[in-house]
């Protein structure tokens, strides 16, 4: 594990926030705060409407663009959906798949998540696959079983070498609640996830980057991203202000230098 040399990644999930004008203003303010020299990859995931203009604004900046969802079919009569090739054309390299808000609020099933993941991989996107247990599941001692089952369901039939896959461990009870997981618990789950990935994917499983998400802030991020077992963080609320996201990236850079 300590031999893994990967760039840490901070992915910003803006959810259903920001107009195009607000997204562009964020990009300009963030660019003034971020040197781009610290070795941390930063991916901004705005709403669909801001993808293309933000992608244009980010060109040459070193910042990466991600979408928050995609549809599994290639193209066609699927009113309201957005295809992977459209995300690519808009400038996205990454896409969040199976976020718990989609699973729990919008009824996205394991089968839906699997189809979306496979489409993202087929089309050359970097999927950020979200997994995580609810509070009753954690309190019932089922957290590991739930997360492993979500991984197995999502990766069933996955190409054998998913070099572009990222997995975000996001305990549902920690998302948007201000109640972040203990770093030691997140570390434990990162090891569980890695063991499951290696059993599903063989040696390629070791290459998958594992992130933590759930009430990450500038004050707590280093507790996660400073560990060798954790390759970064997926950040919701604290990514909405440029200075807050810049502080999260800076603390991750500093934590990397300390390890």
Of all residues in this chain, which one has the CB nearest to ligand PEP in the complex? 236
Residues annotated as part of the active site: 99, 170
Instruction: Please state, in angstroms and rounded to a whole number, the distance separating the CA atoms of residues 185 and 145.
Output: 15
* In the complex, minimum distance from the CB of residue 74 to ligand PEP, in angstroms, rounded to a whole number: 27
Instruction: Please state, in angstroms and rounded to a whole number, the distance separating the CA atoms of residues 149 and 129.
Output: 13
Give the residue from 64, 62, 60, 58 showing the smallest Cα distance to 43.
64
* In the complex, minimum distance from the CB of residue 166 to ligand PEP, in angstroms, rounded to a whole number: 13
Which residue, 100 or 118, is less far from ligand PEP as judged by CB? 100
Q: Which residues of 71-100 are buried (b: 16+ CB within 10 A; e: fewer)?
A: bbeeeeeeeeebbbebbbebbbbbbbbbbb
Instruction: Give the interface with ligand PEP as residue ranges (CB under 6 A).
Output: 13, 15, 170, 175-176, 213-216, 234-238
Which residue, 97 or 227, is less far from ligand PEP as judged by CB? 97
Which residue, 205 or 214, is less far from ligand PEP as judged by CB? 214
Number of H helices, E strands in the chain: 10, 8
* In the complex, minimum distance from the CB of residue 207 to ligand PEP, in angstroms, rounded to a whole number: 23
Which residue, 51 or 201, is less far from ligand PEP as judged by CB? 51
Q: Which long-range contacts (CB under 8 A, 24 or more apart) does 73-79 make?
A: 73/119, 74/119
């Amino acid at each position: 594990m300590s031999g893994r040399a990967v760039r840490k990644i901070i992915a910003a999930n803006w959810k259903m926030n920001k107009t195009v004008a607000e997204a562009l203003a964020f990009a300009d303010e963030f660019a003034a705060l971020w040197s781009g020299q610290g070795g941390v990859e930063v991916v901004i995931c705005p709403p669909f409407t801001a993808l293309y203009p933000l992608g244009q604004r980010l060109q040459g900046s070193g910042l990466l663009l991600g979408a928050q969802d995609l549809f599994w079919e290639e193209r066609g009569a699927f009113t309201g959906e957005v295809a992977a090739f459209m995300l690519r054309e808009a400038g996205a390299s990454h896409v969040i798949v199976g976020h718990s808000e989609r699973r729990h609020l919008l009824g996205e099933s394991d089968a839906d998540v699997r189809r979306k993941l496979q489409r993202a991989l087929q089309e050359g996107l970097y999927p950020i696959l979200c997994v995580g247990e609810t509070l009753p599941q954690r309190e019932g001692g089922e957290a590991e079983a739930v997360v492993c089952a979500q991984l197995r369901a999502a990766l069933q039939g996955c190409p054998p070498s998913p070099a572009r896959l990222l997995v975000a461990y996001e305990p549902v009870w920690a998302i948007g609640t201000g109640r972040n997981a203990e770093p030691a618990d997140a570390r434990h789950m990162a090891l569980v996830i890695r063991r499951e990935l290696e059993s599903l994917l063989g040696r390629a499983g070791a290459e998958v980057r594992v992130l933590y998400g759930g009430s990450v802030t500038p004050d707590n991020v280093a507790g996660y991203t400073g560990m060798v077992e954790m390759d970064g963080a997926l950040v919701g609320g604290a990514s909405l202000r440029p200075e807050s996201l810049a502080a999260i990236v800076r603390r991750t850079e500093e934590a990397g230098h300390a390890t």
